[in-house]
Amino acid sequence: MQSSCDLVIIGAGAAGLSAARAATQAGLSVELVEAMDRIGGRAYTDQASLPAPFDHGCQWLHSAGINPFTREADRLGFRYWTDPFVIRIHDGKWWLNDQIVEEYSAFMEATYDRIEEAAKAGDDRAASNFIDRTSPWAALFARNYCGYVAAAPEHSSTYDTGRFRNTHEDWPVENGYGALIAATHADVDVNLACPVKSVDWGGDEIMVGTSKGMIFCRAVLVTSSITTLREERIKFFPQLPAWKRDAIGRIEMGYAEKVAFWFKRDPFPGLGMHFAMLNWPDAPDAAFQVKPYGRPMATMFAGGHFARDLFAQGEEAAIAEAKTLLAKVFGPEILREIAGVKATQWVANPWIGGGYSVLAPGGGEARAELAQPIDGKIFFAGEATSRDAFSTAHGARQSGIDAVTAIANALRAV
Ligand SMILES: Cc1cc2nc3c(=O)[nH]c(=O)nc-3n(C[C@H](O)[C@H](O)[C@H](O)COP(=O)(O)OP(=O)(O)OC[C@H]3O[C@@H](n4cnc5c(N)ncnc54)[C@H](O)[C@@H]3O)c2cc1C
């Protein structure tokens, strides 16, 4: 293959798909290339492994009231649940009562408020500095934070919490968020199984080297994950400037993985969809989503380094650990009820390499710097570049659209 176009977009996740649509609408000729044999990237609904759709990646419409994918769900007839988050806390022996759960919720809100205030005051330090370590809830807060942010509070800047545009509407998509994103972009042309290996941007024309041949173009939009950038899995000639490499170095990859169990019958009669939090002294950074959408299911969510180290050992090891925790929390007899199980493999996926991005303490404006183009030729989008909706699918989408506005302006100016 040898071809030429105005714009090559690397990666057909939420950012790349939305960018391709916007660029075509802006009158640019576009080649969207994707390393995997499917679209969606971290937006992936597995329709085959269990009797119901299982989202390996994004599942919740975060900030749903202002999230354009909510409108797409309405348009396309996808169902989502608007119920408030319900939590239960297990102390290793039994469930804590509702009053104690409320105490924890109050502690959690106050701690998030302190982290946010620190960010607003320009205090770009680790979020862990704002947890009251004398509280009996400190460890559970850190565990929850890790589940949400994909990194321990020690490894994450206050700026992320302070800057995220949060309407506190987190609505899971019953038919699958990945399926929704795929359906939204069903009309976008994608060159699948076509990894980009190199981008030679030294001359007037840019040369993009892919496994299927060379593409000549005027601009490149890179949307691949922060791991792929940190590990330089795409070679740039000349190499990216120091300021860009420095920004990439101040954004870490967080880790988020799941193991979903399907049961022969409902092992949680009388209970609705909720999260079961683990709160014993050496509990891992994990929790269970119980009965999603009323289904006979429990999904273990693992976060941070616990998720990284466990899932790097492969699917079997992850499932074995999830079973141990399942039995500890719900009783060993639940293991006999398992009818199906599936684990995610984000950390081992060479085109992703983890969950979602995390601003390192002291990371400052790294996300905005990552979003900055180079010489009107190399542009960046993807969740890690979003200032106020990083780590999300709708943030990735918006970053793709914003990048195309900048690209169209740059190409028009030449
Ligand atoms: C477990 C988990 C749970 C999550 N939960 C939620 C949630 O509930 N709600 C939410 O909004 N978000 C959630 N997210 C985050 C959300 O899924 C991501 O932020 C979003 O999908 C990222 O989109 P993107 O386009 O930036 O990147 P990606 O989806 O990673 O897309 C980048 C694409 O680039 C491709 N690529 C990489 N290298 C190359 C190359 N060299 N050549 C060609 N192609 C390449 C990749 O294969 C990939 O398809 C979750 C993520 C995970 C992992």
233-271 confidence digits (pLDDT tens): 999 999 999 999 999 999 999 999 999 999 999 999 999
pLDDT value of residue 413 = 83
- For residue 16, which atom of ligand 1 is closest to its CA? 25
CA distance 213 to 202: 19
What structural domains and CATH numbers belong to the chain? 2-39+185-250+363-413 (3.50.50.60), 83-168+256-343 (3.90.660.10)
CA distance 239 to 209: 15
Q: What is the mean pLDDT of residues 347-363?
A: 98
The residue whose CA is least distant from atom 26 of ligand 1 is 382
**β-pairing, 2-10 with 30-33?**
parallel
Our CA angle for 324, 89, 306, nearest 5°, is 45
Query: Which tens digits make up the pLDDT trace of 170-204?
Result: 999 999 999 999 999 999 999 999 999 999 999 99
- For residue 354, which atom of ligand 1 is closest to its CA? 53
- Does the pTM surpass 0.95? The reply is yes
pLDDT value of residue 1 = 66
Is 300 a pocket residue for ligand 1 (Cβ < 6 Å)?
no
CA distance 215 to 142: 46
The residue whose CA is least distant from atom 41 of ligand 1 is 196
Contact 75, 65 (CB under 8 A): no
Ligand 1 mean position to 385 CA, how many Å? 12
Query: Which tens digits make up the pLDDT trace of 92-151?
Result: 999 999 999 999 999 999 999 999 999 999 999 999 999 999 999 999 999 999 999 999
pLDDT value of residue 161 = 96
Structure tokens that stand for 380 in this block: 């960046």
Query: Which tens digits make up the pLDDT trace of 42-100?
Result: 999 999 999 999 999 999 999 999 999 999 999 999 999 999 989 999 999 999 999 99
Is 234 a pocket residue for ligand 1 (Cβ < 6 Å)?
yes
Could you give the percent of the chain with pLDDT greater than 70?
100
Ligand 1 mean position to 282 CA, how many Å? 31
Lowest mean pLDDT among 20-24, 39-43, 83-87: 83-87
pLDDT value of residue 143 = 97
Is 253 a pocket residue for ligand 1 (Cβ < 6 Å)?
no
The residue whose CA is least distant from atom 33 of ligand 1 is 11
pLDDT value of residue 257 = 98
